[in-house]
Structure 1
Amino acid sequence: MKRSPPQQPFELSMTLADQYNSDGCAISFELFPPKTDAGIESLCENVERLLQFQPRFFTCTYGAGGSSQGTTLEVLQRVKQITKLPVASHLTCVGLNTEQLSDYLRRATEIGVDYIVALRGDPPKGTTEFSVTEGGLRYANELVGLIREQFQDLGIAVAGYPEVHQEASDAQTDLDNLKRKVDAGADIVITQLFYDNADFYRFRDDCVRAGITVPIVPGILPVTNFKQAQRIAGMCKAAIPISLADAMTTDDSPEHQFRVGVDHARQQTIDLIEHGVPGIHYYVLNRSAAAAELLDGLQLAGQA
């Protein structure tokens, strides 16, 4: 199928919630900061390829404990120059006090960051429990509150967990935590990756019953090999459906595993669109091939 022609960029002044107030399915892509200059150049080339799918914005993570914050801002500045689209920086409570958090937010706004993905953050490598930095914050809802108090113009996304956060005692506790983040001022919820759409629909229904009215945006990772799927799913406690595991393990060739993973993500995407999701956030791992394959020809927001 033919891809839709490029359209004019969305207005940079559009709020984060506004991105999901139009017809169709608004998409966004998540990047991570490369470790080398060559990696940044490769990332920029992939960003240019992804523009054909008319994303609403790009996000960028940073390393554990804020180890690559500077590179994250460099990446976002380059992406904004290339795309003329809004950009979002991840920000966690790990290893930073409130003064340092505010300083990062100031630097982010100075280089043109539009949105923040506000997270508590995972415990540093080698530890199993989150530890509050002296003078810092314990929970993501506190980070949302700090942003709302000091940087009112920044859009805020928070994380949701269709299969329950691994540290939550139960699903209701996890949902209560999400409600606190939304009540503190979050504009949207972006979910952790999942491989079974039924988990997302159940989570979305639970959010509605809990009084969460902001857009719930599913997060999709197109896996391209089974070992990668196992590793990433193990990190976030996402279940891999038996059908996907069986299909990927029948042939260990890179071509077969790529095709199976992309086809699965494409079917997830089609089903999510048919179920009326306001948007989809793709974890693309700084590559464009899998995302381009799965999105080719699909009817998305703003496309002819």
Structure 2
Amino acid sequence: MSLAEPEAGTGAGAEEAARAGSAARTGAAAASRPVSPLWSLGFLRSELITTFRRWRTLALFGVLALVPVLVGVAVKIETSGGGTVGGGDGDGPAFISQVTNNGLFLVFTSLAATLPFFLPMTVGVIAGDAVAGEANAGTLRYLLVAPAGRTRLLLAKFTTVLAFCLTATLVVAVSALATGALLFPVGEVTLLSGTSVPFGEGLLRALLVAALVAASLIGLAAVGLFISTLTNSGIAAMAATVGLLITVQIVNSIPQLHDIHPYLFPNYWLSFADVLRDPIYWDDLLKNLGLQGVYGAVFASAAWARFTTKDITA
């Protein structure tokens, strides 16, 4: 394959051409000097900037930010005449009945609504495209010209995906907090156990919930990164990751397969609700963190084993 830079045009083509040229120049300049930790951090910073400045990434953030707004407006309209959410039958996402009493609960409602599909889908798109997208655009070989090595490149990719997990979760949480504060009263928070805590402590619990939701996506991020090393097609890797997510979610919802549910990465995703109890129930929370750690270690290692032995042709 020719090492000529991709044709520069508009949009993604221009971006990838510039990225390839930058990587080639970086490699040429770095070839005469040893790799340093500062250079490594600079490479990671470049990966973060490239990923977070893409229009696709910004569009995903926009969709995630819109979900809490839609939920909040829907609840406000439904309860404006003195009615109850869902007609009082308990239908709807978790915590939605408490939103009208305290806007902070819109954070928990929005995270519960986006975690089963919207948040994981965005992570699947970013993780699936991490390596395969570079190969598909013809920039992967340019990135490896620099003496970073495949291990550092893969580590930078994985770190970037994890940063996206945290950022995407915070986008949902911040949008929900702002919408909830604008549309509903805020103040003392009544927990699921019936205990009331100050609003400040409620905010701290909301921050803890956001951190736990972001950590819940580690397993999927590692799986997506592994799939991304198996193909040179970014679209195929993204589709495979999202398809696997949907399949696992379906399996996790079948009661007859309950014996394998504790081993599926989404099984404990909604355990963050235990943060809203006094005292906090840690059993399922720790199981979730442990399970995500296992998935992350296994599939990140598999991605490394695959990538370090892969014949790079693009």
TM-score band by shorter chain is: under 0.3
The TM-score normalised by the length of structure 2 is: 0.25
The TM-score normalised by the length of structure 1 is: 0.26
Considering fraction of residues, name the structure with more strand: 1
